[in-house]
Structure 1
Amino acid sequence: MRLSIVLAAAAMAGSSLFAIGAAHAQDQVNLTWQMWGDEKDTPLWQSLADLVTAEYPNIKVTPQISGWNDYWTRLPVLASSGQIGDLVAMQSMRMPSFYSLLEPLDEHFASDKFDTSVFESSIIKGLSHDGAQYALPYDVGPWIVFYNKDKFAEVGLSEPAMDWTFDDFKAAAQKLTAGDNYGYAVQAFDFIAAPVALGAEYFNDGDQFDLTNAGYEGAVGKLVDLVAKDKASPVFASGTNAATASGRFASGNAAMYIDGPWSLISTKDAVNFKMGVAPLPRGEGASRFITAGSGWGISAASQHKDEAYKALQVLTGPKAAQILASAGRALPGRLAEQTYWYDVAAKDVGGTREALEYAFEHSTPFRINENWNEFENLITQYMPLALTGEKTTDATLADIQSQLP
């Protein structure tokens, strides 16, 4: 009798174990992860996806990589057709246009008391909208000046101070210009980042565009004069991107250009001279800088939001940040892991840590709205008219203003 009870109990236990095993098999979740990048970046993103499975064996993450321009074109199409990924890459400057595609994260944070203070505060704000957090960052950075240390030495220029002024920058650009070589290579985004560093604003108090205010017109005019009057920089063609300026710098044709830490490692590897970095020049007031960066959020349409949240914490966690930093792919949004980028990836570029820490200490919120990307496109399209002297700075900015809401 007792034997039969034992056998029955064993049978029931076996049945239960089988049921549990079957349940675990059914719990297997496959997440898609949409990200931009080059094909050569795929193994790096896959290594981060593998971290998720190592932490949660029932979750598999599959990266889906697109080129930068294709990514932003495809994202709304994928969303409208119900094919958007579970995890979605987001850039801070595009958050006002795309936040509605993402799941607000604050309720998830409350469930496990997640602490966002481990990230640099400016990028946490940059990946939020109307007070709600929509993504967690993997990288962050302010715009900075990349400069050719060898050329500075050749003409007897001291290297830039942390709080150098626009007059210092202008004097350096003029002295570094000789023949077909320029002191500076201007690009479209300079007319956004540099005026802010000079103390100007392109928004009014209601966060609507105001490109014709005296402060912004004056700051933009200083940059225009460097090109149109001083001939210290070549004109960029309408519609071109940062690759033109970085190419001139890498070839030695321009001694300075403006970029972010996301480009520092690739630029360092492309040059055959000693390279340094410095903060953007300030105006008459104190230094101030805008920062930007990217991260990942959870699709509002995902059917696996809890699993996606677990994956998100791994993808933006310490180990993932260390991998990206050591590979030179990103200055981490996580504060503690930034040292890997400074000490490994950027160790050969003079002044990097000092310039970036100074910039973070003097950062100001990056003011954007839902029409900001249209503003950036119009700057790229129309600013060359001012640089060539075809139109005045004031007239060019008025034309751009007239096409914005």
Structure 2
Amino acid sequence: MRLSLVLAAAALAGSSLIATVHAQEQVNLTWQMWGDENDTALFTSLADLVTAEYPNITVTPQFSGWTDYWTRLPVLASSGQIADLVAMQSMRMPSFYSILEPLNSYMEADGLDTAEFESSIIAGLGHDGTQYALPYDVGPWLVYYNRDKFAAAGLEEPALDWTFDDFKSAADALTEGGNYGYAVQAFDFIAGPVALGAEYFNDSNQFDITNAGYVDAVTKFSDLVSVDKASPVFASGTGAITGSGRFAAGSAAMYIDGPWVLLQTKDSVDFDIGVAPLPRGEGESRFITAGSGWGIAAASQHKEEAYKALKVLTGPKAAEILASAGRALPGRLAEQTYWYDVAAKDVAGTRETLQYMFEHSTPFRLNEYWNEFENLVTQYMPLALNGDSTTEEVLANIQSQLPM
């Protein structure tokens, strides 16, 4: 009897030892994202947070340039070489959700409270009610403006609910000689019309960019270029002068971009800048937001460990680090204050503008052909801006090239 108890105890101890060894098995996760060597130290510090909390897990970042990242991602996924942790942008989720592991069951078991994140980016990193990534940043498109030029022209600075007529009036007044009131960019013809109340999808979530409301809204922006001459025609391609470039040079008083470039923009100018919401139409203000996060590859062999890492990488401390570096306006609400204190320091109206825009955000409607649509807008809108075609003709041409 005693012998059997001894043997049983030994067996139990042995199994516990095996379990302990198994639990502490070292796992190295790869982490695939866009960036360059300048990002290495920052994101390595986030990876170190994972190992500090889970000593048996290490995370190795792998960087690609922005364009290369999206070109390589489907190739890596189909060849089985995709990383365990995968960076994902909300605007590309409809095209890539199938390569990611659904997170709902992990989140439910873990008790993750999504109310800690800005709701629009939680929705943006999901698809058909399933969560595929957790966010690290978020932001709406907003107007950057040169406060010195507004003051010199005797113009009032933009109100939170300023209208398109206000925007147009300012752009016209600030256009003189070789200087423009506004520098248009391709995405303005998407974010801008939505802010005016237009829709580019029908009720079936298919593109309908020839509807009267969208055509009218796009025409308002294109006329600023082709009729009012308040903005130069935007150009794409290597070496093109961007809206941000014209703004930094002082030759354009306004341009549209997201909070992700605020620190870079502030550091590139020698004048006082401010930010304002996109102008509204006749109705209430409304804005689309986007952002990025990280998910788990469906092909990962270490999904449980990857989820543990994901929780740390999108957790409060990681958000604080990214925000304090000015790298991202956190998707986490409580940590956004660190970004305001660093990136938005001395930039008029930033906190008020973004809080107003989040309060008036509308779902960013996307489908699997979204990136094709964006590319077609970039390719064809200059024809309307330089007068070779009407805005209505350009939109009809783009519509004809989109899948039904």
> Which TM-score applies when normalising by structure 2?
0.95
Shift of 1:237: 2.0
The answer to whether the aligner puts 1:336 opposite 2:334 as a matched pair is yes
* Matches of 1:200 and 1:22, distance apart in 2: 59
Contact 1:188–1:241, Cα closer than 8 Å, also in 2: no
Shift of 1:325: 0.4
Partner of 2:40: 42
Q: 2:79 aligns with which of 81, 103, 106?
A: 81
Partner of 1:299: 297
Shift of 1:345: 2.2
* Matches of 2:200 and 2:14, distance apart in 1: 69
Please tell me the residue identity of whatever aligns with 2:190.
I
* Matches of 1:140 and 1:243, distance apart in 2: 26
Please tell me the residue identity of whatever aligns with 1:108.
Y
More displaced stretch, 304-313 vs 337-346: 337-346
More displaced stretch, 343-352 vs 389-398: 343-352
Partner of 1:230: 228
Shift of 1:348: 1.3
The answer to whether the aligner puts 1:171 opposite 2:169 as a matched pair is yes
Partner of 2:117: 119
Partner of 1:253: 251
Runs of 5+ in structure 1 lacking a partner?
1-7
* Matches of 1:69 and 1:327, distance apart in 2: 24
2:312 counterpart SS class: helix
Partner of 2:3: none
Partner of 1:269: 267
- After TM superposition, the structure 1 = structure 2 runs for residues 181-330 of structure 1, keeping only pairs within 5 Å, are 181-239=179-237, 244-330=242-328
Partner of 2:154: 156
Contact 1:88–1:299, Cα closer than 8 Å, also in 2: yes
Please tell me the residue identity of whatever aligns with 2:42.
L
Runs of 5+ in structure 2 lacking a partner?
1-6
Contact 1:185–1:257, Cα closer than 8 Å, also in 2: yes
* Matches of 2:236 and 2:342, distance apart in 1: 37
1:185 counterpart SS class: coil
* Matches of 1:63 and 1:260, distance apart in 2: 25
Contact 2:235–2:241, Cα closer than 8 Å, also in 1: no
| Percentage of identical aligned residues | 77
Partner of 2:374: 376
Contact 2:287–2:357, Cα closer than 8 Å, also in 1: yes
Partner of 2:52: 54
Partner of 2:4: none
The answer to whether the aligner puts 1:389 opposite 2:387 as a matched pair is yes
Structure 1 residues 320, 122: CA separation in 2 closer, same or farther (over 3 Å shift)? same
Contact 1:139–1:333, Cα closer than 8 Å, also in 2: yes
Please tell me the residue identity of whatever aligns with 2:267.
D
Q: C-alpha deviations, 1:136-171, integer Å up to 9, x for none? A: 000000100000000101111110000000000000
* Matches of 2:284 and 2:14, distance apart in 1: 72
Shift of 1:239: 5.0
Contact 2:195–2:281, Cα closer than 8 Å, also in 1: yes
Please tell me the residue identity of whatever aligns with 2:364.
F
Shift of 1:14: 10
Instruction: Give the superposed CA RMSD.
Output: 2.1
Regions of 4+ moved over 3 Å: 11-25, 238-243
1:156 counterpart SS class: coil
Contact 1:126–1:292, Cα closer than 8 Å, also in 2: yes
* Matches of 2:241 and 2:333, distance apart in 1: 29
Please tell me the residue identity of whatever aligns with 1:316.
T
Shift of 1:324: 0.4
* Matches of 2:334 and 2:274, distance apart in 1: 24
Structure 1 residues 341, 170: CA separation in 2 closer, same or farther (over 3 Å shift)? same
Aligned residues: 399
* Matches of 1:379 and 1:279, distance apart in 2: 22
Shift of 1:230: 0.7
Contact 1:127–1:137, Cα closer than 8 Å, also in 2: yes
> Which TM-score applies when normalising by structure 1?
0.95
Shift of 1:38: 2.6
Shift of 1:42: 1.2
Q: C-alpha deviations, 1:148-199, integer Å up to 9, x for none? A: 0001011111100000000000000011111111100000000000000000
Q: 2:61 aligns with which of 60, 63, 66?
A: 63
Please tell me the residue identity of whatever aligns with 1:95.
M
Shift of 1:19: 5.5
Partner of 1:105: 103
More displaced stretch, 34-43 vs 14-23: 14-23
* Matches of 1:69 and 1:47, distance apart in 2: 25
Structure 1 residues 13, 298: CA separation in 2 closer, same or farther (over 3 Å shift)? closer
